[in-house]
């Protein structure tokens, strides 16, 4: 509210007389953030931010040194992977409520597992998501607010953007194009599509990924470590990328390089400028998920030279992103950073450090349950599917299904590499120790299997491509659940806290700042 001098004087006199509630409304409007930036770094472990503090010179330095850093934050659900993690961050609710219990969900009647991006009637709709995202809620609360969601991965962008975002976009792995939704309709704006195509021409795509300059302390890391995976560009620097033909989709290996994050940054800044984010008094929300830390982590593992190189590049990328949006919003910017999940060490590296580690073959689990069930229920098959962390049994006429589920869970728990298995229908009434609660928060009555299981620490299921090599995540153990939370910017006090918090607390805190109604099923305001 702008007032000329005579009118302002009269306004102040009326305020002093107590005839109006004039408690610093003009100052309050000037101090409120115009733009909220939610950054998700796919697979960033919580300990990496302080373990590698000497690497940060740009964005991560600003966030950790100027922001409110919660270094003891964890996800509160058992299945720690991209889809469940992004949905949890975006909704502020556990999978029990938002329904995204896994990136693939099994349909017993159809006898197949489908990706959540194949759930709807058109490619990668948010139809599988049962609850509104923070962007959806903001659009209802403030229809003039603009909401933008960008990522390399389809499920990341879609689950953050929800149903009402102005623009949701992700990078196609099959064509040289973006895919997504504009105001709920399939397709991305022509201007954004055109911009992306100019960024990934064969002339601009990198031919190699070089290590570059790294601090002396990191030079002792072996470049060729056991269990690293060659995804098509070797396992040592310099990594040679497959060539890209004119008008062809970027090679798969490109999504394993920091250049992919840099292009996402450029896209984000183009979109933020075009949409005029943070340019007026109405708050806007931008969400962006960087996935190269994840792809590199799977192939080369945490602690690898590739991971270090990626984190250093991400630090620069985040620095540019924050600085540019800070200027665009006139300094009225709030940044929130977190991750969808962490990651386990490479099995061979874990064993070098004295940890029992390895992969579990699904066929072994299938066999142990079939053998146990055949004793009481006759010839099988009894096990319909294993879609980690769930087991589905065939419903059979005349069989005591509850007894079969309990017996299969007990049999599964005897496998040497399974920590424990639970009948999902019993979780609600079990004693709620931490692990059981994590399982309960990850289970939905219409989508979960009959049994949910947890592998032994540092064990995971064999991957169809990586087999027994590479690194993985998805378990309820701390290395997969521990992620960073940082708040930075307008009205945020600088402090580092070791107070235990949950990721859903971040969403609650952002919702409170945006003036959204409290969802009692969600988290608490961050301290």
pLDDT digits (tens, 9 = 90+) for 398-408: 889 999 999 99
How far is CA 482 from each of CA 39, 160, 183, 316, rounded to the nearest angstrom? 16, 20, 34, 23
Q: What is the pLDDT of residues 417-460, one digit of tens each?
A: 999 999 999 999 998 899 999 999 999 999 999 999 999 999 99
Residue from 460, 499, 497, 452 nearest 477 by CA: 460
- pLDDT for the residue numbered 467: 56
Write out the DSSP string of 287-329.
EEEE-HHHHHHHHH-TTSHHHHHHHHHHHHHHHHHHHHHHHHT
- Asked if pLDDT for residue 21 goes beyond 50, the answer is no
Residue whose structure tokens are 């929130």: 336
Question: Sorting pLDDT into bands at 50, 70 and 90, what band is 9?
Answer: very low
Question: Measured between alpha carbons, how far is 417 from 409 in angstroms, rounded to an integer?
Answer: 14
| Mean pLDDT of the 471-481 span | 97
Q: What is the pLDDT of residues 39-56, one digit of tens each?
A: 999 999 999 999 999 999
| Mean pLDDT of the 237-251 span | 91
| Mean pLDDT of the 179-200 span | 96
State the DSSP H helix or E strand holding residue 160, giving kind and residue range, or none if neither. Answer: helix 154-161
Rg of the chain's alpha carbons, rounded to an integer? 24
- Asked if pLDDT for residue 382 goes beyond 70, the answer is yes
Q: Do 63 and 348 form a contact (C-beta atoms < 8 A)?
A: no
- pLDDT for the residue numbered 481: 98
Residue from 419, 451, 516, 488 nearest 141 by CA: 516
Would you call 375 helix, strand, or coil by DSSP?
helix
Map out the domains of the chain with their CATH numbers.
Answer: 30-352+478-513 (3.40.720.10), 358-457 (3.30.1360.150)
Residue from 435, 422, 418, 427 nearest 366 by CA: 418
Q: Do 441 and 523 form a contact (C-beta atoms < 8 A)?
A: no
Q: Are strands 495-497 and 459-461 parallel, antiparallel or unpaired?
A: unpaired
Write out the DSSP string of 12-26.
HHHHHTTSS--SSHH
């Amino acid at each position: 509210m702008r007032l000329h001098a005579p009118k302002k004087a009269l306004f102040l006199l009326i305020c002093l007389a107590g005839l109006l509630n004039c408690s610093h409304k003009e100052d309050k409007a000037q101090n409120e953030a115009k733009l909220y930036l939610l950054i998700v770094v796919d697979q960033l472990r919580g300990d990496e931010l302080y373990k590698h503090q000497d690497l940060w010179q740009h964005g991560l330095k600003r966030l950790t040194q100027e922001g409110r850093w919660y270094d003891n934050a964890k996800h509160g659900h058992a299945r720690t992977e991209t889809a469940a993690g992004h949905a949890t961050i975006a909704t502020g609710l556990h999978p029990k409520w938002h329904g995204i219990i896994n990136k693939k969900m099994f349909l017993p009647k159809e006898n197949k597992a489908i990706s959540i991006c194949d759930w709807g009637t058109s490619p990668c709709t948010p139809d599988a998501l049962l609850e509104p995202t923070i962007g959806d809620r903001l659009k209802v609360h403030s229809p003039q607010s603009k909401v933008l969601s960008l990522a390399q991965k389809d499920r990341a962008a879609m689950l953050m953007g929800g149903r009402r975002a102005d623009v949701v976009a992700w990078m196609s792995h099959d064509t040289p194009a973006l895919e997504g939704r504009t105001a709920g309709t399939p397709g991305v704006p022509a201007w954004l599509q055109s911009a992306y195509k100019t960024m990934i021409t064969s002339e601009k795509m990198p031919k190699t990924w070089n290590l570059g300059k790294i601090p002396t302390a990191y030079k002792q890391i072996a470049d060729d470590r056991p269990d690293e995976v060659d995804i098509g560009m070797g396992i040592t620097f310099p990594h040679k990328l497959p060539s890209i033909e004119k008008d062809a989709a970027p090679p798969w290996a490109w999504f394993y390089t920091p250049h992919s994050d840099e292009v996402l940054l450029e896209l984000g800044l183009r979109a933020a400028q075009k949409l005029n984010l943070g340019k007026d008094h109405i708050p806007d929300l931008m969400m962006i998920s960087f996935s190269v830390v994840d792809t590199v982590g799977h192939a080369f593992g945490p602690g690898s030279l590739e991971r270090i190189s990626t984190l250093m590049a991400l630090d620069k990328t985040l620095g540019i992103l924050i600085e540019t949006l800070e200027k665009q919003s006139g300094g009225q910017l709030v940044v929130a950073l977190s991750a969808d999940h962490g990651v386990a060490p490479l099995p061979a590296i874990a064993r070098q450090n004295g940890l029992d580690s390895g992969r579990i073959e699904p066929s072994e689990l299938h066999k142990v349950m079939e053998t146990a069930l055949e004793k009481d229920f006759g010839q099988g098959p009894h096990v319909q599917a294993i879609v980690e962390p769930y087991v589905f049994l065939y419903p059979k006429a005349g069989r005591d299904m509850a007894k079969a589920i309990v017996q299969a869970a007990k049999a599964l728990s005897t496998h040497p590499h399974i920590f424990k298995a639970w009948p999902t229908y019993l979780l609600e009434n079990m004693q709620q120790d931490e692990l059981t609660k994590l399982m309960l928060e990850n289970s939905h009555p219409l989508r979960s299997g009959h049994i949910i299981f947890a592998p032994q620490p540092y064990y995971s299921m064999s991957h169809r491509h990586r087999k027994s090599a590479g690194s993985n995540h998805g378990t309820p153990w701390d290395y997969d659940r521990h992620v960073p939370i940082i708040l930075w910017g307008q009205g945020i006090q600088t402090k580092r806290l070791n107070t235990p918090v949950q990721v859903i607390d971040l969403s609650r805190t952002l919702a409170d700042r945006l003036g959204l109604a409290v969802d009692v099923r969600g988290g608490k305001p961050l301290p």
